[in-house]
Amino acid sequence: MSNQHAQFSAELLHRVQDGVPLVQCLTNAVVANFTANTLLALGAAPAMVDLPTEAGPFARVASAVLINLGTPQRDQRIAMVEAATHSNAAGTPWVLDPVAVGALPVRTHLARDLLGLRPTIIRGNPSEIIALAGAGHGGRGVDSTDSAEAALDAARHLAIDFGSIVAISGATDIVTDGARDVRVDNGTVLLTRITGGGCALGAVIAAFAAQDNDRLATTVAACAIYALAAEQAALESAGPGSFAVAFLDRLAGLTPDDVLAGVVIG
């Protein structure tokens, strides 16, 4: 199975680079620039369309949509529900990233509303996944206080209850559809030392989801390729600043052969 995932990941990277998926990002102000640059480095096209009355129609023509709850101002909250509703109507895959859900009431209420719209994919850190499932109160701000393995039962329940693929980000990423669990063992702690290291992954997951209907496999591929690029960038970095630049360069230069040789999926 791991070899099949590696081969599919390599193929999918080529398809993303050739297809230039248009990814609509309703994301937070802190990470918008890094998220857009990550998509560009991958070969996708970012579109930060997050205004009410624009977000819905754009979701119908986008290849995929990311909804990230990092800084949910009022107008953006309206636009997020609009984009998710129109995505469902048009069959556009969309990713929910429930940033800091749990203890903070505005985003937690919004996350519950969006969860009811049945996201194609949910991506979060372990504490966010546990809180979204109603089994905890979140982490310390945007940081997780739980492990990916500790969040697995919550992730499985979310996947089964809402028909979503769930990706738990951690030292080892775990992707589940409720019945099958796949682990990605690439990565580096430097992803936690830069702004947007997790949030930009949600956009990459969206870009990959646009390429194939096997959303478990596309999510595994996105996580593996993202983590591999980060792992390789860390080898040539002196710290977080140089890592952020090296990561974008490595993501832009990654080839299908690199993926086949480097991803660790089990």
* Environment class of 128 (CB within 10 Å of its CB; exposed 0-12, middle 13-18, buried 19+): buried
Residue 164: partners with Cβ closer than 8 Å, 6 or more residues away = 96, 118, 119, 120, 121, 122, 158
What pLDDT, in 10s, does the model give residues 28-47? 999 999 999 999 999 999 99
**Over 70: is that where the pLDDT of 142 sits?**
no
Residue with token string 């999510």: 219
Any binding-site annotation on 123? yes
**pLDDT at position 229:** 98
Mean pLDDT of 55-62: 98
The answer, yes or no, to whether residue 143 has pLDDT greater than 90, is no
196 in a known ligand binding site: yes
User: In the structure, what pLDDT confidence band is assigned to residue 135 with cuts at 50, 70 and 90?
Assistant: confident
pLDDT on residue 147: 87
Global pTM reads 0.96
Domain span at 65 = 1-262
Q: Does the pLDDT value for residue 165 go beyond 70?
A: yes
* Domain containing residue 28: CATH number: 3.40.1190.20
- Expressed in percent and rounded to 5, the helix, strand and coil fractions of the chain are 55, 15, 35
The answer, yes or no, to whether residue 266 has pLDDT greater than 60, is yes
Cα–Cα distance for residue pair 147/234, rounded to 1 Å:
22
Measured CA to CA, the distance from residue 106 to residue 6 in angstroms comes to: 39
Tokens of 198: 């997790």
The per-residue pLDDT for range 220-257, each reduced to its tens digit, is 999 999 999 999 999 999 999 999 999 999 999 999 99
How large is the average pLDDT for residues 142-146?
Answer: 58
Identify the band that residue 204 occupies on the pLDDT scale cut at 50, 70 and 90. very high
Q: Find the mean pLDDT for residues 210-219.
A: 98
Please tell me the total count of domains within the chain: 1
Higher pLDDT, 242 or 146: 242
